[in-house]
């Protein structure tokens, strides 16, 4: 109860853009009134429900477990998710970690405080273009 079990304290409504740095490529999503577009992929529209689910996971879904890590486990890092406000400035960056399948394959979210918010293995984090239905950049 001493640590916030949610990955980011940023309100989802404050997010204008999301920059994903994944294992294969970077993806930049921008809110365009009532839809989300991938500006990194020729302004292709991405499913808004997937963006909503990602924002829900980052800003409202409590972790199933919490781990304090020191040193930070760089070898488990899969990418980062940066939430950007309407003023174009970063609001928060969440590092995405994943255990090896032998260790359970759980996902972890950490935003610079060395507290990993652990999500169940069924939680999928869309870090690849294919996760968003996108072709090449």
Q: Which pLDDT belongs to residue 39?
A: 97
What's the CA dihedral at 52, 63, 67, 96 to 10 degrees?
-20
Does position 101 have pLDDT exceeding 80, yes or no?
Answer: no
| Residues whose CB is less than 8 angstroms from the CB of residue 88 and which lie 6 or more positions away in sequence, other chains included | 16, 17
Chain centroid to Cα 132, Å, comes to 13
Q: Which pLDDT belongs to residue 137?
A: 53
pTM: 0.92
pLDDT for 13-58, tens place per residue? 999 999 999 988 999 999 998 899 999 999 999 999 999 999 999 9
Environment class of residue 84 by beta-carbon count within 10 Å: exposed (0-12), middle (13-18) or buried (19+)?
A: buried
pLDDT for 116-137, tens place per residue? 999 887 777 899 999 999 975 5
SS3 53: helix
Q: Which pLDDT belongs to residue 81?
A: 98
Residue reference for tokens 């293995």: 121
Alpha carbon distance, N-terminus to C-terminus of the chain: 43
Q: Which pLDDT belongs to residue 78?
A: 93
Q: How long is the chain?
A: 137
Q: Name the DSSP class of 115.
A: E
Does position 113 have pLDDT exceeding 60, yes or no?
Answer: yes
């Amino acid at each position: 109860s001493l640590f916030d079990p949610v990955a980011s304290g940023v309100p989802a409504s404050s997010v204008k853009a999301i920059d994903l740095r994944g294992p294969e490529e970077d993806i930049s999503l921008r809110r365009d009134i009532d839809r989300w577009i991938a500006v990194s992929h020729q302004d292709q529209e991405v499913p808004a429900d997937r963006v909503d689910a990602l924002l829900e996971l980052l800003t409202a879904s409590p972790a199933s477990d919490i781990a304090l890590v020191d040193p930070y486990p760089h070898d488990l890092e899969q990418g980062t998710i940066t939430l950007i406000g309407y003023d174009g400035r970063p609001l928060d960056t969440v590092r995405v970690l994943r255990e090896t399948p032998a260790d359970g394959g759980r996902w972890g979210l950490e935003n610079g405080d060395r507290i990993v918010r652990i999500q169940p293995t069924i939680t999928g984090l869309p870090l690849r273009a294919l996760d968003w239905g996108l072709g090449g950049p």
